[in-house]
Structure 1
Amino acid sequence: MEVATTTASTGGTVENDSNQQTAPSSIPWPPIIVAGSVLVGLLLAYIAPLPWPDADGALRGLGGLIVLAALGIDLWGYRTFRPHQTTLRPDRAASALVTAGPFRYSRNPFYVGNVMLVVGLGLAFANWWLVLLGPVALVLMDRLAARPEEKHLEDAFGAEYLAYKARVGRWL
């Protein structure tokens, strides 16, 4: 994911002047991980369904709330990126460093939202496989998307990114 935004210290925008910047990855891993987790979870639920003990539907309701929260995080992140005219695509180079909005709390709010979506869908649709695949999606997001992106941002924004990284956790 590209990151672009206002820095907390100056209120200005930190932009990457290099047009030659390479993307953190040539593959947009996050949507592939989410779609793959959902497809695998649906397939496993069909082949080997796991019993669902939630007779009163409380877990399903919780799942619905988690899905709404995940979508809210994504919308908030999108709205934070939009004024800076940076792409959300994780296979493109960052043009600015975003530290406002949900990025004040997590360096990877979109990825947090993505994993919440997988788990929330599992709870909402009574699919334990999706719930179990949530941690797998998190590890894959970390290894395939977040870590390469951090290296990219460090190369692109240097001290500004390192200061941001010291203030804000990778996930929460």
Structure 2
Amino acid sequence: MVTLTIVLRVVAVLAFAGLMLLSVSWSRGHAKTQARQDRGDRAPVVANFTALGLLFSSLLIFPSSSAGFTAVLLALSGSLLALAGAALVVRCRAELGAAWSYAPIADQSTGLITTGPYRLVRHPIYLGLALLVIGEALAFGNWPALFIALSGVVPTLAWRARAEEKLLSRTFGERFEVYRQRTKMIIPYLL
């Protein structure tokens, strides 16, 4: 059982690591035209990366047991949640194409993306990232990490979403307002 728990935890870590490697690859292969883009506030991005650093530090500082049925169950559910979150982020990133960036940007040339997962919610990448970090904490059965995910990472993702909303509203005006009224912010049909 211990081996299964460890394998499932490795899967959860690989979901995050794979996503980060893809993100680095995407950002290197993507030339941005700085002159036309309206850039958003970077403070939420910095806060978000800080919260992520705290989350992963807590996984190292507060190790949990790998033995027992509960550890396997948490590792399995957390790994599945992390994989689902990573898959959603990858799908959304592909849908955004040239409109993707770590820091919020808006550009008339790339347009307002309202297709794929974006037809259901305005910020599905943040939903995917929230699922991913909550999955990481669950996979490791690490309650301090889960607390940091819920009280640090998720709120900074919401802050990023709000900052991005202001930028999109400023750039796309009425078109964004119509889109905003017909879709939820992060959770389909709820929020």
TM-score between both structures, scaled by the size of structure 1: 0.73
Give the helix-richer structure, 1 or 2: 2
Structure 2 Cα separation of the partners of residues 102 and 167 of structure 1 = 14
Q: Which amino acid aligns with 2:80?
A: L
Higher relative contact order (Cα pairs below 8 Å, separated by 6+ residues): 1
* Counterpart in the other structure of 1:146: 161
Structure 2 Cα separation of the partners of residues 120 and 128 of structure 1 = 12
* Counterpart in the other structure of 1:112: 127
Deviation digits for residues 77-134 of structure 1 (CA, Å, limit 9, x no counterpart): 012122xx32333243334101111112221111111111111111112222221122
Unaligned runs of 5+ in 2: 1-34
* Counterpart in the other structure of 2:41: 25
Q: Which amino acid aligns with 1:74?
A: V
TM-score between both structures, scaled by the size of structure 2: 0.67
* Structure 1 pair 93–54 and aligned structure 2 pair: CA distance change class (3 A): farther
Question: How many positions carry a matched residue from both structures?
Answer: 148
* Structure 1 pair 65–45 and aligned structure 2 pair: CA distance change class (3 A): closer
Structure 1 position 87 matched with structure 2 position 88:
no
* Structure 1 pair 91–160 and aligned structure 2 pair: CA distance change class (3 A): closer
Structure 1 position 163 matched with structure 2 position 178:
yes
* Structure 1 pair 28–114 and aligned structure 2 pair: CA distance change class (3 A): same
Aligned residues: percent identity?
Answer: 24
* Counterpart in the other structure of 1:41: 55
Q: Is the 8 A contact 1:123 1:131 kept in 2?
A: yes
Deviation digits for residues 17-42 of structure 1 (CA, Å, limit 9, x no counterpart): xx555312245707x62x43343234
Residue 173 of structure 2: SS of its match in structure 1? helix
Residue 180 of structure 2: SS of its match in structure 1? helix
